[in-house]
């Protein structure tokens, strides 16, 4: 079970003595986790497991990732569960600080230690060899066999992701040589050139010998995608892959992602705060808020029939033509996200929610399931309260029309997403 420092208090009133006590207690906890991760020659049976559904590439189950600070324990990821099937794109959406990136870093075992630790839950992954491992329990040495080869990550800042003192070719070659030591230098270079061509870079030989500062932001992001794909990973994690890029370059990068995903028959975990990107790319959507999943479902369920008040608030916050025509103000969700150091025992969204009632202030809601694996953590859908005639969140008609137009938009490769194409994702 997740370890938590019970001495945590309201950070606004901590004395120096209390901070020292918390820091001392947290250091003990961190040392325990670090010792477990740094073990050598660990028997494989300790982290071998089985998938609940063999059609999934990865299954994240009740994941908790905490940061042990001097003022308390920050619950960045607090009980997250979802799956990514083979060949599918799962979009993880939410505002800044909701835990999207920490979830992805947990999958890669790249959470910054010793402060950040995976403290509970499992991350089941099936390798290309058919073995199933629990990444949350893997020692660091064992994880190095998977990270980069089986699971690759495209980081969110192309301007700083590449090493400025090494040429593009050297960085691509290194990524491949680590996992394919038997390949000759010429074979490694040929593969790097091939990957540059795959991601749409012209004059690959010239770019191979360039330094990062000689390339534009869009070109650097293409190089990052080439580096991520060079070992043919089964799972690609794209963390805000279009950050700091202009709109036209964003469209090209998204199109490229979909194209290479189809070429290698891989799966993608797409992290973004842009609902438009999610609508155009994802098969399934996970909505996160304050370290938890508040709603998850098929792309059409989320955009046409959102259930959770937070999801509806996000949809209402999207700019649309109706705001221009009517001159109405753009909606914004009132209030603030609770502190991840001092999370309440009740619903995290209740103080910002116009639909909340008594029970919301008393406990955190469980997940309520609808059709096709659509779920939402909200008491509004509890049968015990159906006699209260509670008002449930709905999209205004103009936003429903906008949502339908978004769902019919052309996504990369000029293909239109049709409702008949969905398959009840994740079954």
pLDDT band at 386 (very low <50, low <70, confident <90, very high): confident
**What pLDDT, on a 0 to 100 scale, did the predictor assign at position 416?**
31
What mean pLDDT comes out for the span 309-334? 80
**What pLDDT, on a 0 to 100 scale, did the predictor assign at position 389?**
79
- Indicate whether 156 pLDDT > 80: no
Give the chain as a 3 state SS string. Answer: CCCCCCCCCCHHHCCHHHHHHHHHHHHHHHHHHHHHHCCCCCCHHHCECCCCCCCEEEEEEEEEEEEEECCEEEEEEEEEEEEEECCCEEEEECCCCCCHHHHHHHHCCCCCCCCEEEEEEEEEEECCCCCEEEHHHCCHHHHCCCECCCEEEECCCHHHHCCCCCCHHHHHHHHHHCCCCCCCHHHHHHHHHHHHHHCCCCCHHHHHCCCHHHCCHHHHHHHHHHHHHCCCCCEEEEECCCCCCCHHHHHHHHHHHHHHHHHHCCEEEEEECCHHHHHHHCCEEEEEECCEEEEEEEHHHHHHCCCCHHHHHHHHCCCCHHHHHHCCCCCCCCCCCCCCCCCCCCCCCHHHCCCCCHHHHCCCCCCEECHHHCEECCHHHCHHHHHHCCCCCCCCHHHHHHHHHHHCCEEHHHEECCHHHCCCCCC
pLDDT band at 420 (very low <50, low <70, confident <90, very high): very low
pLDDT band at 139 (very low <50, low <70, confident <90, very high): very high
Question: pTM (2 decimals)?
Answer: 0.87
What mean pLDDT comes out for the span 348-375? 93
Mean pLDDT of the chain: 87
- Indicate whether 7 pLDDT > 60: no
**What pLDDT, on a 0 to 100 scale, did the predictor assign at position 70?**
86
- Indicate whether 425 pLDDT > 60: no
pLDDT band at 324 (very low <50, low <70, confident <90, very high): low
pLDDT band at 321 (very low <50, low <70, confident <90, very high): low
Structure confidence by residue, pLDDT tens digits, 21-34:
988 999 999 999 99
């Amino acid at each position: 079970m997740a370890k938590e420092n019970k001495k945590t208090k309201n950070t606004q009133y901590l004395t120096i003595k209390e901070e020292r006590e918390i820091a001392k207690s947290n250091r003990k906890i961190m040392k325990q986790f670090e010792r477990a991760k740094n073990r050598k020659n660990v028997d494989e049976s300790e982290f071998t497991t089985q998938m609940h559904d063999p059609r999934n590439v990865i299954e994240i189950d009740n994941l908790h990732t905490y940061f042990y600070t001097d003022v308390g324990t920050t619950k960045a990821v607090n009980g997250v569960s979802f799956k990514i099937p083979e060949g599918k794109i799962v979009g993880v959406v939410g505002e800044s600080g909701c835990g999207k990136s920490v979830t992805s870093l947990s999958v890669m075992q790249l959470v910054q230690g010793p402060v950040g630790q995976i403290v509970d839950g499992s991350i089941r992954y099936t390798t290309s060899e058919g073995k199933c491992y629990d990444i949350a329990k893997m020692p660091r040495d064992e994880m190095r066999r998977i990270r980069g080869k089986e699971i690759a990550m495209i980081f969110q800042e192309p301007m700083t992701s590449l090493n400025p003192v090494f040429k593009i070719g050297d960085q691509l070659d290194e990524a491949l040589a680590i996992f394919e030591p038997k390949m000759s230098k010429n074979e490694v270079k040929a593969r790097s050139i091939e990957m540059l061509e795959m991601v749409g870079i012209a004059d690959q030989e010239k770019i191979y010998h360039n330094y990062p500062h000689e390339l534009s932001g869009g070109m650097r992001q293409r190089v990052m995608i080439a580096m991520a794909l060079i070992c043919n990973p089964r799972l690609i994690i794209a963390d805000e892959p279009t950050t700091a890029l202009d709109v036209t370059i964003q469209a090209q990068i998204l199109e490229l992602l979909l194209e290479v995903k189809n070429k290698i028959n891989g799966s993608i975990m797409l992290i973004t705060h842009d609902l438009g990107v999610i609508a155009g790319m994802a098969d399934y959507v996970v909505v996160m808020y304050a370290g938890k999943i508040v709603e998850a479902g098929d792309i059409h369920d989320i955009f046409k029939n959102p259930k959770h008040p937070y999801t509806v608030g996000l949809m209402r916050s999207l700019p649309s033509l109706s705001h221009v025509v009517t001159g109405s103000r753009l909606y914004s969700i009132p209030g603030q996200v609770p502190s991840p150091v001092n999370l309440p025992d009740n619903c995290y969204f209740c103080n910002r929610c116009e639909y909340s009632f008594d029970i919301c202030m008393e406990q955190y809601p469980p997940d309520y399931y609808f059709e096709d694996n659509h779920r939402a953590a909200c008491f509004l859908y509890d049968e015990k309260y159906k006699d209260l005639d509670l008002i449930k969140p709905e999209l205004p008609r103009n936003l429903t029309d906008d949502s339908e137009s978004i769902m019919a938009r052309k996504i990369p490769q000029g293909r239109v997403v049709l409702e008949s194409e969905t398959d009840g994702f994740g079954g």
